[in-house]
Amino acid sequence: MNRTESFTGETLRVVRGTRSGVAIAVAIHSTARGPAIGGCRIKAYPSWRDGADDALRLSAAMTMKCALAGLPHGGGKTVAALPAEGWDPARRPGLIADLAEAIAALGGRYRTGPDIGTTSEDMAEIHRLEHGWAFCRPEEQGGSGTSSAATARGVLAALQAGVSPGSVAGLRVGVIGFGSVGRLICQSLLERGAQVVVTDVDGGLRPLAERLGATWTTADLVREPLDVLVPAATGGLLTAESAAACGASLIVGPANNQIADEDVATVLRDRGITWIPDVVASAGGIIHAVGREELGMDEAAANARIDAIADTTSAVLAHARERGLTTVQAARELAAAG
């Protein structure tokens, strides 16, 4: 894993949960626009330092994501770094309590939400235990619910902008990751007449994918000839090598931190592959959560705001084209200007 070179954030707090013994890193990248927001990830890492690094990188991406989405927030992230050698799931309730305590210790400068390894129910528990700084509790409990549908909707808006003025019908699309967001994207693409090929590390999901009408593969979809590649699994999919071998014309998906480093964006640009940065494409979840829970939007207003990701996408692609920038450089410039 690449180490973060310079510390550009505001706060990095690492604690060992007193109940779970798990290392928890809470990173606040920026509160310049408002309280930091970003998901809470529970995942195994080779070491706690890798978990802290992930929190730093992901929190910086959240700052850009919030700015590009026009939200009054900055970026943060929480990572619970489970030991790589395994962990007793019976300790999970203790870990959630440890997470609540770690987040509450920041006194409201950071609010969390669901991410890889956490659910709306976990957010409800965090909310119940400490001060309520968690988005996306179940709707019955006053939250805005899981953000998966909103995230998928935003990715589809970005994808549509990326193929514009063409249509999705007939396109060959490869989706990597058949989790909660990946499967909703597959479903919508199939409904719109795309040919969808899916892969996931969990082969047990194959029947579900096939029932939707997708084709299952164990091939490396990055290398397959595709119109669109949708990264919907964990980050770091695109390295200098995989970008050099990438067979897609357009890459757009909900996974966070898709490129291993910024040189990858240059490789993609030079090869004529359009990469819509994850900070643009994956904003549907936070737009929905903040819109519903803080900005007083109803469902229709939140959806309209999510659909506007298409306009942000077009603006980023146009800016990159005009200035000869990579799409991530273009996104950064627009984020700073907004």
Among 9, 17, 39, 235, binds ligand PHE (CB under 6 A): 39
- The verdict on whether 65 is a catalytic residue reads no
Judged by beta carbon, residue 17 or residue 113, the one nearer ligand PHE is: 113
Taking contact as CB under 6 A, which single stretch among the options 158-166, 208-216, 285-293, 297-305 is the one that binds ligand PHE? 285-293
The rounded radius of gyration (Å) of the Cα atoms in the chain is 19
- φ/ψ of 250, rounded to 5, equals -135, 135
Quick one: 123 or 168, whose CB is closer to ligand PHE? 123
Q: Binding marks (x or -) toward ligand PHE, 54..83, rule CB under 6 A?
A: --------x---------------------
Judge contact between 223 and 244, C-beta under 8 A: no
Compute the least distance from the CB of residue 118 to ligand PHE, in Å. 9
Among positions 37, 124, 221, 232, the unique one binding ligand PHE when judged by CB under 6 A: 37
Element (H, E) at 216: strand 215-216
C-beta closer to ligand PHE: residue 81 or 286: 286
Site for ligand PHE in 130-159 (CB under 6 A): 135-136, 147
For residue 165, the minimal CB distance to ligand PHE (Å) is 30
C-alpha atoms less than 13 angstroms from C-alpha of 83 in its C-beta half-sphere: 11
Total residue count of the chain as it appears in this document = 338
* Comparison of 118 and 249: residue with beta carbon closer to ligand PHE: 118
- Report the residue from 20, 22, 29, 38 that binds ligand PHE according to the rule CB under 6 A: 38
Is residue 115 part of the contact set for ligand PHE (CB under 6 A)? yes
Cβ neighbour number for residue 291 with a 10 Å cutoff: 23
Residues 64, 135, 8: CA angle, nearest 5 degrees: 30
Residue 212 contacts by C-beta under 8 Å, 6 or more apart in sequence?
A: 183, 186, 187, 190, 196
- In the list 145, 235, 284, 285, the residue contacting ligand PHE (rule: CB under 6 A) is 285
Sign of torsion over alpha carbons 226, 156, 71, 50: negative
Question: Applying CB under 6 A, does 251 fall inside the site for ligand PHE?
Answer: no
Q: Which of residues 173-202 bind ligand PHE (CB under 6 A)?
A: none
Q: What is the nearest approach in angstroms of ligand PHE to the Cβ of residue 115?
A: 4
Please pick, among 77, 127, 153, 183, the residue that the annotation labels catalytic.
77
Q: Which two tokens stand for residue 104?
A: 């509450």
Phi-psi region of 233 (alpha: psi -120 to 50; beta: other; left: phi over 0): beta
- Kindly list the distances between the CA atom of residue 126 and the CA atoms of 11, 95, 180, in Å, as whole numbers in the listed order: 21, 10, 21
Asked if residue 114 binds ligand PHE (CB under 6 A), the reply is: yes
Residue that is written with structure tokens 């990055």 in the block: 222
Contact set with ligand PHE (CB under 6 A): 37-39, 62, 113-115, 135-136, 147, 285-286, 289
Q: Which residues does the annotation mark as catalytic?
A: 77
